[in-house]
Structure 1
Amino acid sequence: MQLTKHAHACVSLEKDGTRLVIDPGTLTPDAAAAVARADAVLITHEHFDHFDEKLLTTALDSQPELEVYGPAAVAASLGDRDGRVHAVAAGATFTVGSITFTVHGHRHALIHADIPCPDNVGYLLDEGTVYHPGDAYFAPDAPVRTLLLPTSGPWTKFGEAADYVRAVKPERVIQIHELMLSDLGQQSVAHLLGENGLTGLEIGRVEAGATVQL
């Protein structure tokens, strides 16, 4: 499986001709181009930086084979679209082309008691090849080879991120959701959390537009 990193929380995954895009939000400049090449889009939650409703509405209109998966609030905002929009919850399993994924977790991480937490799900693809947690440090009860680790945002904390990596025990970590960090901030993440820091694993940094093999 190949992973292409896009800005912020968005990634594309491709295997044997099947292409999925996760969390093409409004902070991802090439989100529309990524979705245009996709067989399916997976949304972790309804926040604008993960879910661009206008973009997906347009894509569903212009791509008659496109499927979209997301929590109930996301599905409700897009409509059924002849069964191509799927409301998902923890415990569900789906297959798109050559890729199977399972759904994990149920709630966005707490930002503040005064700010409501929407539903948030994570996606574990291809029997543990890669896990995208959305905006939560939820550890799936399954092996994870590559963990996509959120490292910036109003809800993130480096200490909790370290404990999360320890709980998941992945073979590999790649930063996502890092848009709010400067270059120095990303270096700090790598130093504090990395192979010589709290997790003992390299915190991979993949530039937007780059592709890596998983």
Structure 2
Amino acid sequence: MKLTKKGHSCIRLEKDGQVLVIDPGGFSEEDAAVGADAILVTHEHPDHFDEQRLRAAMEANPAARIWTLRSVADRLTAAFPGRVHTVGNGDAFIDAGFGVEVHGELHAVIHPDMPRVTNVGYLVDATVFHPGDALTVPDRPVDTLMLPVHAPWNKFSEVVDYVRAVGPRCAYAIHDGLLNDNGHAIYNRNFGPAGPGVGRTEYTRIAPGESVELI
């Protein structure tokens, strides 16, 4: 499986000639989802869900499908009847040759005075887990964790504890669209040997547009 980092929290997975994209939001490239056979959206916030990016992908590939929670699906179903599927915690499905499990229910707390929206994470091929905007720990082993490193709803100590709780072989940075080079340098150091430690996990940041091959 080939993993390509797109802007902010968006990733692109390719396998056997098919493409799955997760969270092509407003901080991602305008064509982040174009070419996808299946698109997964974790929640309604605009840095994860951008209607124009989704429309571009759906129009470019008339067979493409979207899988998401109801708050997003309700905004797209009329435009793409039969192609938008609603999912929730505990669901599982196969699309574009990828097996997907759905984990989690709520967005992390930003502030107690701000209502929490729904949020789901996706475990793809029992290998890659994208949690969206939550620190959800799946009830099964995870090899590759897409790690939200920087957000209004998290702090570094929580993220370290999250990596320790999930215990993946490797963690790749996502949700990093608000960081500059100085911020990336700090996170790279603190998730490495100079930091408090994340067990056996190897932390890596790949820049938007860069790819890695997953074992």
TM-score calculated relative to the size of structure 2: 0.93
Give the equivalent residue in structure 2 for 1:186. 184
Give the equivalent residue in structure 2 for 1:104. 103
Deviations 1:87-119 (A, max 9, x none): 110111111132101000010000001211111
SS in 2 for 1:36: coil
Quick one: structure 1 residues 83 and 123, their matched pair in 2 at CA, closer, same or farther if it must change by over 3 Å?
A: same
SS in 2 for 1:78: coil
Deviation (angstroms), 1:60: 2.8
Structure 1 gap segments, 5+ residues each:
none
Identity %: 47
The letter of the residue matching 1:178 is: D
Question: Superposed, which structure 2 residues align to 1:158-173 within 5 Å?
Answer: 158-173=156-171
> Using the alignment, how far apart are the partners of 2:146 and 2:165 within structure 1?
14
SS in 2 for 1:77: coil
Quick one: structure 1 residues 195 and 14, their matched pair in 2 at CA, closer, same or farther if it must change by over 3 Å?
A: farther
Question: Superposed, which structure 2 residues align to 1:1-214 within 5 Å?
Answer: 1-29=1-29, 31-32=30-31, 34-79=32-77, 81-127=80-126, 129-197=127-195, 198-200=197-199, 201-214=201-214
SS in 1 for 2:74: helix
Aligned residues: 211
> Using the alignment, how far apart are the partners of 2:45 and 2:116 within structure 1?
10
* Cα contact 1:107–1:120 (8 A) shared by 2: yes
Q: Which runs of 4+ in 1 moved over 6 A?
A: none
Q: Name the one with the larger helix percent.
A: 1
* Cα contact 1:99–1:126 (8 A) shared by 2: yes
Deviations 1:46-99 (A, max 9, x none): 000000012223433453201001111000010153321011101111111321
* Cα contact 1:67–1:85 (8 A) shared by 2: yes
Deviation (angstroms), 1:36: 1.9
TM-score calculated relative to the size of structure 1: 0.94
* Cα contact 2:35–2:60 (8 A) shared by 1: no
Cα RMSD (Å)? 1.4
Quick one: structure 1 residues 182 and 168, their matched pair in 2 at CA, closer, same or farther if it must change by over 3 Å?
A: same
